[in-house]
Structure 1
Amino acid sequence: MKLTKLSAAVLFGLASSGTFAAALDRSGQSISSFLQPGNYFEAGISILDPSVSGKDLSGNHTGDMAGDYYFPTAALKIQATDNISVGLLYDQPFGADAEYTGTNNFVASPADGVLPGTALTNGLPVVTANPTGSFNGIPVITDPSTGLPVAIGLGTQITGNTSVEVDTQNLSLILGYQPTENFNFYGGAVYQTVKGNVKLRGSAYSLFNGYDADIPEDNAFGWLAGAAYQIPEIALKASITYRSEIDHKVNVNESIPLIAPLGSLLVASGALPGSALAGLNSSGETKITTPQSVNLDLQSGIMANTVAFANIRWVDWSSFSIRPHKFGQLSELAGGLLPSLGKPNGFNLVDYSKDQWSVTTGVGRKFNEQWAGNVSVGWDSGAGNPVTTLGPTEGYWNVGLGLQYSPTPATFIAGGVKYFWLGDADAQTGAHSAAGKFEDNDALAYGLKIGYKF
């Protein structure tokens, strides 16, 4: 059976399996390049073109809110001795890119609702519009026909769209030990940077309408460890890799424009003591912990020049959350003032209710000394449903095709394409309040990679 040269060939033609995964997952954090024989270098790029749209609770169309994005990868592996290997891997494991447009509850308008009418506001709803009069010293909007107040007007105009952008980078330095031809034990350090920007706009976010959070770039270290087993004669290879969570502590630059007018109103009406607003002007660190994960990769020859492969990935998204300092202070205040929220201890800007599981499986075949190809099927569980308005999909199914051309025994160029059927999702805000429904969405991913064995 001619299988010994297939182990490197079958996966190269695939577009990255993580290009549209649960929560913020992107690259899939593969280390297959480190497990290639001899000295090896590769560089690649993946591009995703998603289409994600839905309706808000009022039935308004959101338009396509998912942005196109790309991310590069690169790897260098050196077989220093018969028993020692060293690798340097670069990827962008997590990220987000989305923006709402049009006329809907995720885009600011001149008269967005801020709070419903409760005892705190004398039964009058609170909106961002300019007041047209005054009632008992409170700025109100009156009914022209009766002159009676129908809402409290904050006179704070919010503009813009809800959007999110998150970028991360990983640089992994790996040391491997091969006691025999069959076993490989490896581990190393992971250097990670993270930065992001979030804008919340529209009535869906209530008193957080107009909220901005700028997360400056931060760096921190984690680690990885794993083991691999192979039988080269039959193209059998199995590996398991654990990556640790990585803690970042940042001072997020936050702006909450509705706090001043709304706070003044509630204090003036006696609904809130002035001391309750003190924490909203304080500053403090925000902890962001990127999740731990496990990758299991399997591959085996099944006939001459043909192999089957599978990847199983788990990511601990249920332990992930982001609660910037001022956002958290306001959410705790809101949870106390509005028992109907059911959040007396506040809530997060982003969190997920379940862990992510994903599976990719397929078959690769070597056609001749220069050409190889593969087909694959993938599934992703998502990270729970309902899910954040900043990424309103629940998992996917996909199919992929890949092709590799090797002009010389030491070089190759590979490309792949995948089509994704994205899972329907109910969108919710950080307070876990229903915000919309997103259905019948899809995405197309492309990948290109070059490699050199030396």
Structure 2
Amino acid sequence: MKLKYQSLLVAILSVTSFYSHGAAYEFGRYSYSNLYSPDDKVAASYSYFNYDIQGNHPTFGNTGDIFNDTHYVQGAVNYFFTDKFSGNAQYYLSNNIDTQHTGGFWQGSSANVKTRTLALTGKYQITPSFSAFAGPTINQTEINAKFNTNMNGGFGGLDLDLGDDIGFGYTVGASYHIPKIALRATVAYQSAVEHSFDTTESGALIVNKTGGKASSVSSQAEIELPETIDFDFQTGVAENTLLTFSAHWRRWSEHVIKTQVRGEVVTFDRDSVTYALGLARQFTPSFGGGIELNYAEGAGEGNLNPLAPGNGAKGVQVGGKYSFGNTSLFGAAQYKMVKDGKDISGTIYQDNSLYGLTVGVEHKF
């Protein structure tokens, strides 16, 4: 069985995978295919995501489009210092929620959560069959939200601004290889990331809570972004063809955003797992393509969070890559169907979906 797995589309499918609505506000993820690239290379891509996600309340009507479109750029560099040791840098948007209710029971409420992650990883090939890797992650997170009076039990609206903070974590893992059939099985751990935010709460809720003595309150909020465990697998199944599978677990059940006046802003009932199954094939020496099916569990049970109304999703994505010399152009398209649900107000979210488009360039040096 002849396998040219280095040039297959696994890296493309992995880099462009999108997991929003699978659990909480998780978005992009670390790419193990990029880490295990056999080449010195640099890659950059642009992604656009459009959402058709709305809810309807039997009395207060439609929420309007809840999610704002997402535009973002990500990049990666891989470099071999020796035959056995390589360094890898990846920049991606690991968490992302940008929502607002322009109508309905929650009209005027909104949320913005973003984490931009830079992962620096060193990888060492111990033997042809085993390798290990480790390195730090640098994470910049920003959080702000608005709650209308209905979200505060009728006691007035609230503006919540946590600003931004930089927190540190790490990635560590190991892989087993059978080079003859292009098999690689990777198990990896990404640590939790602790943040300390200077928080400001302002609005009518503060006025009512303080008896009119203040319209804003400042405090400190300690927040931990949850840890993850990944299993990433690939193997050759036919000439120039790879089968891929991944499972991604994240401990959302211990994640809490809590402030001095509002109290608990965000909690989740359970941990989540996201699964993906893909097939990639090199059709010609210059062109390859692939397809991936994915299923994401939600991190909640029962009522949905109206500012992040996605409790699981399933979808498909296709990608292609064309190479000329040391440069390659790649693109991918994906479509997801979001699981139906209802929030505590009785607003029903159903028949919702999203799509994403990615284009990028890669250069070997």
Map 1:68-79 onto structure 2 (within 5 A).
68-79=69-80
Q: Give the equivalent residue in structure 2 for 1:40.
A: 41
Structure 2 unaligned segments of length 5 or more: list them. Answer: none
Per-residue deviation at 1:421? 0.7
| CA deviations over 1:195-228 (Å, ceiling 9, x no partner) | 1210112534324542001121111211110112
One-letter amino acid of the structure 1 residue matched with residue 98 of structure 2? D
Q: Give the equivalent residue in structure 2 for 1:446.
A: 357
State the aligned residue count. Answer: 363
Q: Give the equivalent residue in structure 2 for 1:285.
A: 220
Does 2:270 align with 1:370?
Answer: no
Instruction: Describe the SS at the equivalent of 2:3.
Output: coil
Does 2:321 align with 1:404?
Answer: yes
One-letter amino acid of the structure 2 residue matched with residue 450 of structure 1? V
Map 1:240-319 onto structure 2 (within 5 A).
240-261=187-208, 264=211, 283-319=218-254
Structure 1 unaligned segments of length 5 or more: list them. Answer: 108-160, 266-276, 329-347, 429-433
Normalising by structure 1, we get a TM-score of 0.75
Instruction: Describe the SS at the equivalent of 1:203.
Output: helix
- Contact 1:321-1:351 within 8 A present in 2 as well: yes
Map 1:64-103 onto structure 2 (within 5 A).
64-102=65-103
| CA deviations over 1:412-439 (Å, ceiling 9, x no partner) | 11111111110012224xxxxx452211
| CA deviations over 1:159-182 (Å, ceiling 9, x no partner) | xx1111112111111111211223
Measure the CA separation in 1 of the matches of 2:37 and 2:6.
Answer: 11
| CA deviations over 1:220-263 (Å, ceiling 9, x no partner) | 21111011222333221221221000110111111131343466
Runs of 4+ aligned residues of structure 1 deviating over 6 Å after TM superposition are: none
Provide closer, same or farther for how the CA distance between residues 411 and 245 of structure 1 changes in structure 2, counting only shifts above 3 A: same
Q: Give the equivalent residue in structure 1 for 2:17.
A: 16
Measure the CA separation in 2 of the matches of 1:196 and 1:262.
Answer: 23
Measure the CA separation in 1 of the matches of 2:112 and 2:218.
Answer: 23
Instruction: Describe the SS at the equivalent of 2:261.
Output: helix
Per-residue deviation at 1:448? 1.8
Measure the CA separation in 2 of the matches of 1:422 and 1:34.
Answer: 30
Measure the CA separation in 1 of the matches of 2:163 and 2:219.
Answer: 14
Does 2:177 align with 1:230?
Answer: yes
Measure the CA separation in 2 of the matches of 1:64 and 1:51.
Answer: 7
- Contact 1:22-1:383 within 8 A present in 2 as well: yes
- Contact 1:314-1:358 within 8 A present in 2 as well: yes
Instruction: Describe the SS at the equivalent of 1:240.
Output: strand
Per-residue deviation at 1:404? 1.1
Measure the CA separation in 2 of the matches of 1:9 and 1:355.
Answer: 30
Provide closer, same or farther for how the CA distance between residues 232 and 9 of structure 1 changes in structure 2, counting only shifts above 3 A: farther
Q: Give the equivalent residue in structure 1 for 2:56.
A: 55
- Contact 1:321-1:350 within 8 A present in 2 as well: yes
Normalising by structure 2, we get a TM-score of 0.93
Structure that is richer in strand per residue: 2
Q: Decide which of 162, 167, 189 is 1:215's aligned counterpart.
A: 162
- Contact 1:89-1:172 within 8 A present in 2 as well: yes
Pick which of 85-94 and 2-11 moved more: 2-11
Measure the CA separation in 1 of the matches of 2:182 and 2:290.
Answer: 15
Measure the CA separation in 2 of the matches of 1:37 and 1:262.
Answer: 60
Q: Give the equivalent residue in structure 1 for 2:342.
A: 426
CA RMSD of aligned residues (A): 2.2
Instruction: Describe the SS at the equivalent of 1:284.
Output: strand
Provide closer, same or farther for how the CA distance between residues 88 and 394 of structure 1 changes in structure 2, counting only shifts above 3 A: same
Per-residue deviation at 1:295? 1.7
- Contact 2:201-2:217 within 8 A present in 1 as well: no
- Contact 1:393-1:422 within 8 A present in 2 as well: yes
Provide closer, same or farther for how the CA distance between residues 19 and 206 of structure 1 changes in structure 2, counting only shifts above 3 A: closer
- Contact 1:13-1:373 within 8 A present in 2 as well: no
Instruction: Describe the SS at the equivalent of 1:32.
Output: helix
For the pair shown, which has the larger CA radius of gyration, 1 or 2? 1
| CA deviations over 1:347-369 (Å, ceiling 9, x no partner) | x1111111111111111111110
Provide closer, same or farther for how the CA distance between residues 234 and 89 of structure 1 changes in structure 2, counting only shifts above 3 A: same
Per-residue deviation at 1:57? 5.9
Identity %: 27
Measure the CA separation in 1 of the matches of 2:184 and 2:46.
Answer: 25
Per-residue deviation at 1:310? 1.1
Map 1:99-178 onto structure 2 (within 5 A).
99-102=100-103, 104-107=104-107, 161-178=108-125
Provide closer, same or farther for how the CA distance between residues 235 and 203 of structure 1 changes in structure 2, counting only shifts above 3 A: same
Map 1:350-389 onto structure 2 (within 5 A).
350-385=266-301, 386-389=303-306
Q: Give the equivalent residue in structure 2 for 1:124.
A: none
